Amino acid sequence: MQHNVLILDFGSQYTQLIARRVRELNIFCEIFPYNNPPTDLSSYKAVILSGSPFSVRADDAPHPDLSQIRGKLPLLAVCYGAQYLAHFDGGEVAPSNIREYGRANLSYIKDNEPFLEGVSENSQVWMSHSDTIKKLPTNGVVLASTKDVANAAYKIEGETTYAIQYHPEVYHSTDGKQMLENFLVKIAEVPQSFTPNSFVEDIVAELKAKIQDDKVVLGLSGGVDSTVAAVLLNKAIGPNLYCIFVNNGLLRKDEFESVLHQYKDMGLNVKGVDAADRFLSQLAGISDPETKRKTIGRVFIEVFDDEAHQLTDVKWLAQGTIYPDVIESVSVKGPSATIKSHHNVGGLPDFMKLQVVEPLRMLFKDEVRRVGATLGIDPELLGRHPFPGPGLSIRILGDITPEKVRILQEVDHVFISGLREHGLYDKVWQAGAILLPVNSVGVMGDERTYEKVVALRAVESTDGMTADWVHLPYDFLMKISNEIINKVKGVNRVVYDISSKPPATIEWE
């Protein structure tokens, strides 16, 4: 794997965005906590310091050792990083008279400066800090200013060190990507060689070398991540990959049969296991969302382990872990607080005694899809909306029963089929239905009903970290609502969720 750019994370909400912008330049990068950087920096060609919620003036502020970086590797310090360099090297950082947050415009740009090549005066940038640099560090030279921030950007003479008090990684900084490209490509001369094709070549070679003639078992979910991981492994080790696709009884309507057939058509060595009754019996009477997740996780491991033990000499467990999961599990403040417990990092029970292989652990979701396209995977499968690991269990609020699953599967089928028929499916990042623990009064014909309420949810997003609700056409929502109420026995009311993330989450549990 290429190791071209190191991003040191100081806890900023935007750190992953820095990595995404760098990857968009076809440059490979990795994020490490500032207090646990890689010991060997010989393969890195540049370093970026992220922003932070801390103030450099605080007693508990992050205090990294940059002795192996400053003056030795091209360095770009963003926001907190810029203030850190100033504060501890002859400059001065003080509270700003005004909170510098939001849009600003560059009012001064130094002439003939490679870092700002192609950036026009009045270019919009995004500020997010309450401190400001009053005095530049030793040998600092101002490169750009805004109306309120004199030292918006600077460099340090005698080093390839640049610093900015704004965030080039957010879309609000209109020339932010240009500045990153100027620093990485023109100044640091980092090769733009990270493409889906190069990733496939590198990872297949790496998998062959690591696994050799060993056997690997992989649990397929029907989702994009596990599917792309399976195709990569199949390309590397062929029939030594054993895939297990478990029906937990909480998939979409007819999904187990259709996806299993699709996998077999792709040439994967896959076995389908229908364990729906086992899962639903274990879930009976459980209403707490986290308990539902853990129960599903436990039963899945039991079922998966039963099947894996029928195979002989398996040494590896493959998982579809992707980079946001990895970053979250090694965040600056330790593993992130538990919001939900169903991603793939960690949790492997000791009794399975298998080594773990994760072909996608360095990719973001959109990169996984691009790699899948390079591998020739059906666009329809690659374009499938994300689906939660615990399936429909977390879209049924309250306890789980076979009847509730039936109702939600039928509602979801009407909604998703309608999106496809009306050309809306690919315009939505994720959509689904939620069965609420609410009954409402209705009238059907001359009869009074007291039946279930369902909520429809459709969001647009890039990677699920933030999401906006989709303004589906009223005529479409009216048609789908009527169809659900007419076709799905047990439902007499449909509502549409217009919450964005944050503050809401995409799923309801």
Q: Which domains does the chain have, with CATH numbers?
A: 5-187 (3.40.50.880), 196-383 (3.40.50.620), 402-496 (3.30.300.10)
Bridge partners of 450, per DSSP, are 441
Strand, helix or coil at 104?
strand
Reading the chain (509 residues) residue by residue, the pLDDT tens digits are 566 899 999 988 788 889 999 999 999 999 999 988 998 999 999 999 998 888 889 888 888 889 999 999 999 999 999 999 999 999 999 887 665 667 889 999 999 999 999 998 899 998 876 788 999 999 999 999 998 899 999 999 999 999 999 999 887 888 999 999 999 999 999 999 999 999 999 999 999 999 999 999 998 888 899 999 999 999 999 999 999 999 999 999 999 999 999 999 999 999 999 999 999 999 999 999 999 999 998 998 899 888 888 888 889 999 888 888 787 666 555 433 333 344 444 445 555 678 889 999 999 888 999 999 999 998 888 888 988 888 999 999 999 999 999 999 999 999 999 999 999 999 999 999 999 999 888 877 667 788 999 999 999 987 676 789 999 999 999 999 999 999 999 999 999 999 998 788 899 98
**CA atoms 394, 395, 397, 399: torsion sign:** negative
**Residues 127, 101: contact at Cβ < 8 Å?**
yes
Q: Is 222 annotated as a binding residue?
A: yes
The per-residue pLDDT for 99 is: 58
Question: Taking the CB of residue 32, how many other CB atoms lie within 10 A of it?
Answer: 15
Contact by Cβ (8 Å): 11, 78: no
Q: What are phi and psi of 293, to 5 degrees?
A: -60, -45
Tokens of 84: 């850190």
Question: What is d(CA 472, CA 7) in angstroms, rounded to the nearest whole number?
Answer: 38
In angstroms, what CA-CA distances link 340 with 11, 21, 298, 400, 472? 20, 27, 15, 18, 28
Has 175 been labeled as part of a binding site? no
Would the annotation count 499 as a binding residue? no
Sign of the C-alpha dihedral computed for residues 205, 210, 213 and 214 taken in this order: negative
Is 391 a known ligand-binding residue?
Answer: no
Global pTM reads 0.80
Closest CA to 79 of 9, 163, 178: 163
**Catalytic annotation, residues:** 79, 167, 169
- Are the beta carbons of 467 and 500 closer than 8 angstroms? yes
**Residue 123 known to bind ligand:** no
